[in-house]
């Protein structure tokens, strides 16, 4: 199950319930909102052949999200002992959470390294300006100093 946002001018959101790799062809896909079957604002594709004796179907539910409501996709098929019920979880998918966590970690690491480099630069610059410049002093030999023979 996934959520898509249709183009502007349409309803705010659409849930898609996709069922893949089933045989025989006969299947029933329905929607429930808070335990009650939903029949309006539902569209489905026909059973589509995959070309390998299996089929797939996609059902769409247009909806305006409300806080606390429970939306489920129900699949009934001969291969199932009981209907398969999948509840819609509006939270962010795990793959998206992982991308955000990796990006945030990289940003924090970059900031820490930048701060460390800045502190190192400032200490190095401050250390050079406080230390007086020392030049080596060599004894100056006076050319006019008389040399006495021994």
Greater confidence (6 vs 51) lies with 51
Confidence of residue 8 (pLDDT cuts 50, 70, 90): low
Q: How is the chain split into domains, by residue range?
A: 2-90, 93-127
Q: What pTM, to 2 d.p., does this model score? A: 0.56
pLDDT 10s digits, 30-68 = 999 888 888 888 888 888 888 788 999 999 988 877 777
pLDDT 10s digits, 108-136 = 999 999 999 999 888 888 876 555 556 66
Which is it for the CA torsion 62, 67, 32, 25, positive or negative? Answer: positive
Q: Please say whether the structural domain 2-90 has been given the CATH code 2.60.40.10.
A: yes
- DSSP-based helix, strand, coil % in the chain, nearest 5: 25, 30, 45
């Amino acid at each position: 199950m996934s959520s898509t946002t249709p183009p502007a001018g349409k309803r705010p959101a659409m849930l898609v319930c996709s069922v893949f790799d089933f045989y025989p062809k006969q299947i029933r896909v329905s929607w429930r909102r808070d335990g009650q079957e939903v029949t309006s604002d539902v569209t489905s594709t026909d059973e589509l052949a995959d070309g390998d004796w299996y089929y797939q179907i996609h059902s769409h539910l247009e909806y305006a999200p409300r806080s606390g409501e429970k939306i489920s996709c129900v699949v009934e098929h001969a291969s199932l002992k009981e209907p398969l019920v999948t509840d819609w979880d509006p939270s962010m998918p795990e793959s998206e959470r992982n991308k955000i966590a990796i990006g945030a970690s990289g940003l924090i690491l970059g900031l820490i390294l930048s701060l460390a480099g800045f502190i190192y630069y400032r200490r190095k610059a401050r250390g050079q300006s406080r230390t007086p410049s020392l030049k080596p002093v060599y004894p100056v030999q006076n050319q006019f100093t008389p040399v006495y023979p021994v």
